[in-house]
Structure 1
Amino acid sequence: MGTPLGAPETTTASVRPESLPTTLTVAPAVRAWLAVAALGAGLLHAALAASAPLPALVVLATIGAAELAWAVLTLARERPPILKASLFLSLAPVAAWAGVATIGATSEAGTILALPPLPLAVASLLNVAVALTIAIVLRRGRPAAQNTGAGRFVAALALSAVAVCAVTIPALSVTDAGVGAVTVHLQHEGH
């Protein structure tokens, strides 16, 4: 049917808010990247906690455990948990490190927290990458195609793992946990 002027009728059902999906799914390849990046940041925060003073140990261990749990849940589900909040939560460790570094640089006593800067910088880089990826997913605002094939998911997972390992492993090697792992291994060279 047409309108009285003969023009075809247009329906607005496709643009009504109720027709939009209530939950935003994330493509498996994107979820793989988010999970691996959060895993790398979580491992770095956990490794830094091993040599930190007690207040920083609690904060770093909590941040690391949260990132590791979020990484596992992100990989296991169609939608990362607390997606909108994760945008800001992933930047919280970056803000905390920037605050501690600023206070340490401006205080007369020198640095407040003497943790190696490389692992903190790499963890911050990974957290910013997670936040940027979430921001892009939220900005797009449309559900992702879920049937993209296992090959694409495996390739994205492998590329994500290679990229994150390339920055995480060298950063882990300068933490006390990384140095301790090498030292223990060298003491047991007969195995």
Structure 2
Amino acid sequence: MNTVSVPRAPTSGVMAGSEHSATATIVSPPVRAWLAVVALGAGLLHAALAASAPLPALIVLATIGAAELGWAALTFAREHPPLLRAALFLSLAPIAAWAAVASIGAATEAGTILALPPLPLGVASALDLTVALTIAIVLRRHRPAARNASALRFVIALTLSAAVVCAVTIPALGQTDAGVAAVDVHLLHGGHQH
């Protein structure tokens, strides 16, 4: 029995729909660290807001927070961010949701989301927007990442991104009921001694 093999045409990662090979080559480790830390900050804020939100908002906030925290962990742990193109649009979804709910709440005076503290929502939205803008720049540049990025450059990027995100996230977390409760528990158990 004779078999004839037909040569297959080479496919590129983008043409074949393989996002793995496309994003692995364009996202450098320092940019991955930045994306992971910023998404982590947004996820922590959404999770903290969920703790005191009414049930419908709790479900939405907890889902968004869990998705952001999971994406941040995978982005940090892997060589390429998962679902990079989808993450560009998904990171804008919370901002669109808050705008829609705030508009409906202002028009109907129902204001479910409006009862939540505005600073944490604003900071989480700014962090989500930062993720979207970073991904858009990475995808627009579409240049291969340097394979020999130094460990020092990665550590510097990670340290700077952590410092920036902490500087905006920690005060915002302090405005949530979860942040206030954490301080109250600390003071209750002797954290404040004379």
TM-score class, shorter:
0.7 to 0.9
> Which residue number in structure 2 is paired with residue 24 of structure 1?
23
Number of aligned residue pairs: give it. 174
Moved more, 136-145 or 57-66: 136-145
Q: Do the aligned partners of residues 110 and 56 (structure 1) sit closer, same or farther apart at CA in structure 2, a change above 3 Å counting?
A: closer
> Which residue number in structure 2 is paired with residue 159 of structure 1?
160
Q: Contact 1:45–1:60 (CA<8 Å) still a contact in 2?
A: yes
Aligned residue runs from structure 1 range 117-136, under 5 A: 117-136=118-137
Task: Please say if 1:75 is aligned against 2:76.
Answer: yes
Greater C-alpha Rg: 1
User: Could you state the TM-score of these two structures normalised by the residue count of structure 1?
Assistant: 0.86
Structure 2: gaps (5+ residues):
1-9, 15-20
Q: CA deviation at 1:183?
A: 0.4
- Equivalent AA in structure 1 for residue 148 of structure 2: N
- Equivalent AA in structure 1 for residue 121 of structure 2: L
Report the RMSD for the aligned CA atoms in angstroms: 1.7
Q: Distance in 2 between matches of 1:82 and 1:161?
A: 23
Q: Distance in 2 between matches of 1:120 and 1:99?
A: 13
- Equivalent AA in structure 1 for residue 99 of structure 2: A
1:12-41 deviation line (CA, Å, top 9, x unaligned): xxxxx9567742221000000000000000
1:67-93 deviation line (CA, Å, top 9, x unaligned): 000001001112100000000000000
Moved over 6 A (4+): none
Structure 1: gaps (5+ residues):
1-16
- Aligned sequence identity (%): 72
Q: Distance in 1 between matches of 2:144 and 2:47?
A: 33
> Which residue number in structure 2 is paired with residue 183 of structure 1?
184
- Equivalent AA in structure 1 for residue 141 of structure 2: R
